[in-house]
Copies of this chain bind each other. A is one copy, B any other.
């Protein structure tokens, strides 16, 4: 999931990026309306986060221009104002949701998730090696064989597949899959990795979930 942040306060943009990245989103930030519009119109983003008050082109204008180009990427507007008429103005300009600063990070995340969910825009499979994870059915497929993953197994497998170029620490997996508030412990990750390894080998996959001591897990393809 790729998110573009258009926000002239660099530090705030950075902290939004941190927040979203820690949840596994891919983010990019630009710091003025003009570049924002340009980037947004590439059409490669799943969501725009757009500040209203910016020097030069403001958020309303950006939203309006983007929509005028028939780009339907959902837009989340950020503003210091909380007046009804501002909200209406933003929505009329094409925004999908309106968040008043200061906002709670939870609220932002909930909002981002809601917008992405609403779009229903997902890739419908992830492949690596000889193996494929079907995101709509939750099936792990290898050649003729396939096996069903439970919800948790699916989340973990997907996260691993999405992060194939990185080592994922148990900590990160926990906070991403079980959430910050859960009282899940690292052994949960170990157990689920165990489940997944069993299922992977049962369908003859050449994917290995390699444990890297003290660092985390990494997906590898046998014979590479």
* Distance of A136 from chain B, by nearest CB (Å): 5
| A113 proximity list for chain B (CB < 8 A) | 22, 169, 171-172
| A98 proximity list for chain B (CB < 8 A) | 15
| Other-chain residue from B15, B150, B213 in contact with A97 (beta carbon distance below 8 A) | B15
Quick one: closest B residue to A176, CB to CB? B110
Known: A102-B87, A148-B212. A136 touches B166 (CB 8 A): yes
Q: Are B114 and A102 interface neighbours, CB within 8 A? A: no
Could you list which residues of chain A lie within 8 angstroms of chain B, going by C-beta atoms? Answer: 9, 11-12, 14-15, 18-19, 21-24, 83-84, 87-88, 91-92, 95-98, 101-102, 104, 106-107, 109-111, 113-115, 117-118, 136-138, 148, 150-151, 154, 165-167, 169, 171-172, 175, 180-181, 212-215, 218
A-B contact pairs, 23 of them (CB 8 A): A9-B88, A11-B91, A11-B92, A11-B96, A12-B88, A12-B91, A14-B96, A15-B91, A15-B97, A21-B117, A21-B118, A22-B111, A22-B113, A24-B214, A84-B102, A106-B180, A106-B181, A110-B175, A113-B169, A113-B172, A136-B166, A150-B213, A151-B214
